[in-house]
Structure 1
Amino acid sequence: MAVAAGSVALLGVSGWFITACALAGLAGPIAAGAFNYVLPAAIIRLCAILRTGGRYAERVIGHDAALGALARLRPKLFAAILAAPVERALSLSVGDASSRMVQDVDVLEARFVRLPVPWGLAAGVLAGLAMLVPAGIAPAAATLGILVMTLGLGWVLAWLSAEVGRDVQRSIARLKDRYAALVSSASELRAYGLEDWAAQEIARESEALLRAQKQLTAWGGWFALLQAMGAGIAAMLAMALSAHQSLPLAAMAALGAAMTVDCAGPFLRGLEARGSWDEAARRLDRVLDNLPSPIPAAVSLSDRPDIRLLRPGARLVPGSVTGLTGRSGIGKTTILEQLVGLRADEAVTILLDGLPLPAIDLARLRATFSFAPQDAAMLSGTVRDNLLLAATPATSDDDLWQVLEDAVLAETVRGLPQGLDTWIGENGAVLSGGERRRLNLARAYLRAAPWLLLDEPTAGLDAVTEQRVVERLRARLAGSGQGAIIVSHRPAPLALCTSLITLTESGAEILGLPGWGPSRLGDHSLHIVPIV
């Protein structure tokens, strides 16, 4: 309101001042010399300062509200991506997720800022009519007609340009997705001499984005032309219809008409961006509207739940160690991912404490397992940062060094420049493949869960290091009483297991291994029995 009031006052005083100056000049040198221009000039400056201050406050308040909304939206969006149905979360690439988190959310900032625009338009129209009505009903009616026509044509332009706005958002998403994929493969691209091809791929997506942005800019020119023509036509028409009035009233009517139509500018710019807004909102809704259904809160688990695989039929007793083998692609990793709620597979039915996995709250389900996946991602941070992902508030540095000892990595970390606080780079680039695997293993050890799920824990390790890792794992399991499921093709980690489940196309073979009974694992030896 302060901006509108300042604008109206500025237009009125300026119009009166210009007209008075002209009349004083026509009256001759004596009248011109006696004309008081100091007071009107001071009033004009005051109105300009009032309008500028109001506009500044409007921007501060509007952007503060918008940025506050976005600050709440981004964590919600991130949580939605993590909690989305497995098939959707796994299908979302890094580039696409980044585009939604950054670009799409930023586009909505302008939408939030422009939420008060219709109210500003209404205030501007009322102020303009207050200037037009003294000159007559005809100028006011004509100005309203021009305004309605301008807004109507704006809606038509918005409808015609909406697809271009949507294409800009999609082009940005494709460019970011392609860029992220190629950057993550930079080493391979360089090794095979494909840098030029990768650059051409980025250039192709960039050209597509540039074309879409040029088209959107061209449509923006039509919106600007519509606003300028509408304001000019309204001013000339209002002046013509006020010709029978005094010159000051006619001038005020022209200024009021131009101001009234000019108030539609922010509204038209919002229509111009409507396609981009709608596409950004649609892309975000696809993430936010696909959250899992609420889980009944009545489901509970014991502190040490057993696991039953209905296909294959087997029961895994708490504290037992089971090996899971079979050819590549048969579904071993899928079973582990099912247990931690990362994947759904109708071919394998799993009960935890007699309850089907979908009936168990995800937080409770994941607290039951500590998972070391085969291809674990590392944070772009320090050794400590990566370990603390699985830590609790009570975790101490002694605990961190203990799990590193168990993973045969403590000596390596002590040799790093800052020890636990050494930066390991993007996805652990400073570490070797074997060191990253052992850091992943140490992270899984840090979580005090009833079951330990290990997917190829010794792959890529030399025989001596592998044997040390296996012996430390044997001692850890014996001391902690944790149960474990180990997926591996290597004999060393499978030697820890009291039973093996070998997955085949026709089902599974379940084999109990002698020599690993209670004498080796206390009271937590494994018992797997077929379920009838």
Structure 2
Amino acid sequence: MKSGIHQLVAAQEKAQIGRLIAASVCAMIVSAAAVVLLGLSAWFLTASAIAGLAGSVVAMTFNYMIPSAMIRLLAVLRTAGRYGERVIGHDAALHALAKLRPQLFDNIARANPAVSLSLSSGETSSRLLQDVDAIQNRFVRLSAPWGAAAALIAGIVLCAFASPVTALSVGVIGGLYILVAITLAKIATEKAGRDTRISAGRFKHELTTLMAAAPELRAYGMTQKASTQILATSDLYESAQRRLSVGSGWQGLCQTLAMAVAVVAVFVTTANQSAPLMALALLGSVAVLDAAATLIGTLSHKGSIDAAMERLDPLVCSPAPVINEPLQSRITIGEHYVLRTRGRLGLSGPSGSGKTTFIEQLMHLRPVAAGTIRLDEYDLSEVSPQQARSLFSYAPQQAQFITGTVAQNLRLAAPKASDEELWSALEDACLASRILKSPQGLDMPLGENARYLSGGERRRLGLARAYLRHAPFLVLDEPTEGLDAVTETCIIERLDKRLKLTGQGLILISHRPAPLKVCHDIGIVKGRDSYGRVEIAVSANTENHLSICVV
């Protein structure tokens, strides 16, 4: 059975089958026309020279119209065919890639959290860019075998005009050259191509990771060590590229030797033939091997393409089971505690006890422990991530933002929200006055990851974005951490009013007592086991305080 990425690629090959067939036909025309053109040109020039040397009478009777017309026709066919192959082949590849990248991104978003969390931003971008680009070579080069076959057949037919033995010799030499080149590609370029692809991903991961920590590296005087670390991964990449170039050089040498052998064979087998036919066979055999080099170039990329497919395959997840009936927004934690819409649960406890881990499990942002949480009557582990996440609007401790404007970042949660709705969310997050100070208003640029805002402003912008999504439950992780008392009081008051207006439920994490006052029930998270698993057991006492024990 084909792996996930192979199924996606096969589906795109099927979708682009018309373009791929057209590109293959063009490749066959190019290769056949190139071989016949070179052979015919050699025959025509040699025959014309001999006719000229034989005297004016012979020269005047020499028919140059038909050969010259055929040469022009072949030249036009070769040029048009090459243009068609490049345009149609790349058009098919680009159409396929335009479908593949969104599919892969979607798979990363809904994949098992253990897979998604294992990828750094650098590694993810490397796979979505360089590795997908490698698959482009797969589509573009699908026509190469057909072109090589057409060139070999055209060369054999052309050489047959000189001698059947010559045609057989050229066919055998061409076939042996392809077999030797395939073997050489496996030995000299396949592993180097794979290593190049893998080391490129590692280099980009190392670079982006250390660049993200650049301020800290400068502050602690660690820039030299970071540079050495980047240089080490760069050396691995350059070493793999060097080995790939050496392998390509060996393939070029193999082609040159095959051409030399073919020339000698043609000389020997056409010794009794006329000079024009000998020239035809000579250049025809050289053209055959030159056209076959396109196929060999394709084989030299096989290792890189295979490695790219292997690196992309973990990103393709199997479809999660989907519950056909809509969920009724009832969360059962442990055996007893039930949280419904309009209910408000506050979580407190020591730092590192598992509060954030719990809510990330709840939203399928981390691997889910079976048997601890239920949505309606379904175990959370049986619910697809998309269905689980549809119940929540989340403001994490460290919200991430795109490089864009205030409005663009807010509309990530509500793409169709009006400006009035955006301002209302900003008001409830106590951030509207700050945005109003900017002449651009909602079009105020934020810079990379909202670096033009302070830490407290970024936290409130994340809160405003969460307000915009009309989900049954609002999930807030330390929404007032780092804020002054006046701003905290403003946010808590507006949060209470907003919840009463929208009817949303609330799950709120806070070390500070003030935000917990808006909650109906308070849970104390006591810790986690040595494996970091969050298994929730809940019991309620008469004071509406919960004991949430992370075993």
Please tell me whether residue 90 in structure 1 is matched to residue 117 in structure 2. Answer: yes
Corresponding residue of 2:441:
419
The one of 61, 64, 80 aligned to 2:88: 61
The one of 299, 306, 311 aligned to 2:330: 306
Residues 448-463 of structure 1: pairs in structure 2 closer than 5 A: 448-463=470-485
Residues 244-255 of structure 1: pairs in structure 2 closer than 5 A: 244-255=272-283
Find the residue that maps to 1:116 and give its secondary structure.
Answer: helix
Corresponding residue of 1:206:
234
Give the superposition deviation at 1:100.
Answer: 0.5
Give the superposition deviation at 1:362.
Answer: 3.2
CA contact (8 A) 1:341 1:362 kept: yes
For 1:91 and 1:271, how far apart are their aligned partners in 2? 32
Corresponding residue of 1:358:
381
CA contact (8 A) 2:332 2:373 kept: yes
For 1:292 and 1:434, how far apart are their aligned partners in 2? 40
Find the residue that maps to 2:452 and give its secondary structure.
Answer: coil
Please tell me whether residue 441 in structure 1 is matched to residue 463 in structure 2. Answer: yes
Segments of structure 2 that go 5 or more residues without pairing to the other structure are 1-27, 529-535
Paired amino acid for 2:143: P
Query: Which deviations, in whole Å up to 9, do the C-alpha atoms of 1:229-261 show, x marking residues without a partner?
Result: 212311320231121233322222223322222
Corresponding residue of 1:521:
none
Corresponding residue of 2:45:
18
Find the residue that maps to 2:142 and give its secondary structure.
Answer: coil
For 1:82 and 1:353, how far apart are their aligned partners in 2? 24
Give the superposition deviation at 1:274.
Answer: 1.2
Paired amino acid for 1:113: V
For 1:69 and 1:318, how far apart are their aligned partners in 2? 44
Give the superposition deviation at 1:84.
Answer: 1.0
The one of 125, 129, 149 aligned to 1:122: 149
Corresponding residue of 2:103:
76
Paired amino acid for 1:261: L
Are the structure 2 counterparts of residues 124 and 39 from structure 1 closer, same or farther at C-alpha, using a change threshold of 3 Å?
closer
Query: Which deviations, in whole Å up to 9, do the C-alpha atoms of 1:116-138 show, x marking residues without a partner?
Result: 11111111111111112233332
Corresponding residue of 2:428:
406
Give the superposition deviation at 1:18.
Answer: 2.0
Find the residue that maps to 1:264 and give its secondary structure.
Answer: helix
Are the structure 2 counterparts of residues 154 and 364 from structure 1 closer, same or farther at C-alpha, using a change threshold of 3 Å?
same
CA contact (8 A) 1:390 1:444 kept: yes
Are the structure 2 counterparts of residues 417 and 202 from structure 1 closer, same or farther at C-alpha, using a change threshold of 3 Å?
farther
For 1:529 and 1:156, how far apart are their aligned partners in 2? 67
RMSD: 2.6
CA contact (8 A) 1:500 1:512 kept: no
For 1:167 and 1:154, how far apart are their aligned partners in 2? 20
The one of 465, 469, 484 aligned to 2:491: 469
Corresponding residue of 2:533:
none
| More deviation, 377-386/187-196 | 187-196
Corresponding residue of 1:258:
286
The one of 478, 492, 505 aligned to 2:514: 492
Find the residue that maps to 1:124 and give its secondary structure.
Answer: helix
For 1:499 and 1:370, how far apart are their aligned partners in 2? 20
- State the identity %: 45
Paired amino acid for 1:60: V
For 2:373 and 2:399, how far apart are their aligned partners in 1? 24
For 1:30 and 1:139, how far apart are their aligned partners in 2? 33
For 2:148 and 2:68, how far apart are their aligned partners in 1? 28
Find the residue that maps to 1:389 and give its secondary structure.
Answer: coil
Corresponding residue of 1:147:
174
For 1:443 and 1:62, how far apart are their aligned partners in 2? 43
The one of 352, 356, 368 aligned to 1:333: 356
Give the superposition deviation at 1:508.
Answer: 6.6
Give the superposition deviation at 1:15.
Answer: 1.4
Give the superposition deviation at 1:8.
Answer: 3.7
Give the superposition deviation at 1:110.
Answer: 1.4
Give the superposition deviation at 1:207.
Answer: 2.1
| More deviation, 190-199/257-266 | 190-199
Are the structure 2 counterparts of residues 513 and 191 from structure 1 closer, same or farther at C-alpha, using a change threshold of 3 Å?
farther
Find the residue that maps to 2:490 and give its secondary structure.
Answer: helix
Are the structure 2 counterparts of residues 494 and 510 from structure 1 closer, same or farther at C-alpha, using a change threshold of 3 Å?
farther
Corresponding residue of 1:215:
243
For 2:220 and 2:167, how far apart are their aligned partners in 1? 72
Corresponding residue of 1:517:
none
CA contact (8 A) 1:299 1:359 kept: no
CA contact (8 A) 1:317 1:527 kept: no
Query: Which deviations, in whole Å up to 9, do the C-alpha atoms of 1:62-113 show, x marking residues without a partner?
Result: 1111111111111111111111101000111100100011101111111111
Are the structure 2 counterparts of residues 55 and 508 from structure 1 closer, same or farther at C-alpha, using a change threshold of 3 Å?
closer
Query: Which deviations, in whole Å up to 9, do the C-alpha atoms of 1:442-462 show, x marking residues without a partner?
Result: 011111111111111111112
Paired amino acid for 2:193: G
Are the structure 2 counterparts of residues 144 and 5 from structure 1 closer, same or farther at C-alpha, using a change threshold of 3 Å?
closer
Give the superposition deviation at 1:178.
Answer: 1.0
Paired amino acid for 2:233: E
Paired amino acid for 1:270: T
Paired amino acid for 2:306: D
CA contact (8 A) 2:110 2:385 kept: no
CA contact (8 A) 1:295 1:360 kept: yes
Paired amino acid for 2:205: D
Paired amino acid for 1:444: A
Residues 108-257 of structure 1: pairs in structure 2 closer than 5 A: 108-161=135-188, 162-257=190-285
Paired amino acid for 1:83: R
For 2:346 and 2:262, how far apart are their aligned partners in 1? 82
The one of 308, 315, 330 aligned to 1:287: 315
Find the residue that maps to 2:402 and give its secondary structure.
Answer: coil
CA contact (8 A) 1:501 1:508 kept: no
For 1:469 and 1:348, how far apart are their aligned partners in 2? 35
For 2:441 and 2:371, how far apart are their aligned partners in 1? 43
TM-score, with length taken from structure 2: 0.87
CA contact (8 A) 1:309 1:348 kept: no
Are the structure 2 counterparts of residues 95 and 454 from structure 1 closer, same or farther at C-alpha, using a change threshold of 3 Å?
same
| More deviation, 27-36/241-250 | 27-36
Corresponding residue of 2:79:
52
CA contact (8 A) 1:143 1:261 kept: no
Give the superposition deviation at 1:146.
Answer: 1.2
Corresponding residue of 2:14:
none
Give the superposition deviation at 1:325.
Answer: 1.2
Corresponding residue of 2:24:
none
Find the residue that maps to 1:500 and give its secondary structure.
Answer: strand
Paired amino acid for 2:298: G
CA contact (8 A) 1:335 1:348 kept: no
Query: Which deviations, in whole Å up to 9, do the C-alpha atoms of 1:279-301 show, x marking residues without a partner?
Result: 0111111212xx14431443432
For 2:508 and 2:49, how far apart are their aligned partners in 1? 94
Query: Which deviations, in whole Å up to 9, do the C-alpha atoms of 1:337-393 show, x marking residues without a partner?
Result: 122221224277111223211333433322211111112111111111111011153
For 1:13 and 1:491, how far apart are their aligned partners in 2? 91
Find the residue that maps to 2:149 and give its secondary structure.
Answer: helix
CA contact (8 A) 2:402 2:449 kept: yes
Give the superposition deviation at 1:182.
Answer: 1.5
Paired amino acid for 1:295: P
Find the residue that maps to 1:424 and give its secondary structure.
Answer: coil
CA contact (8 A) 1:239 1:251 kept: no
Are the structure 2 counterparts of residues 34 and 131 from structure 1 closer, same or farther at C-alpha, using a change threshold of 3 Å?
closer
Are the structure 2 counterparts of residues 416 and 513 from structure 1 closer, same or farther at C-alpha, using a change threshold of 3 Å?
farther
Give the superposition deviation at 1:60.
Answer: 0.5
CA contact (8 A) 1:299 1:361 kept: no
Give the superposition deviation at 1:527.
Answer: 9.4
For 1:477 and 1:495, how far apart are their aligned partners in 2? 13
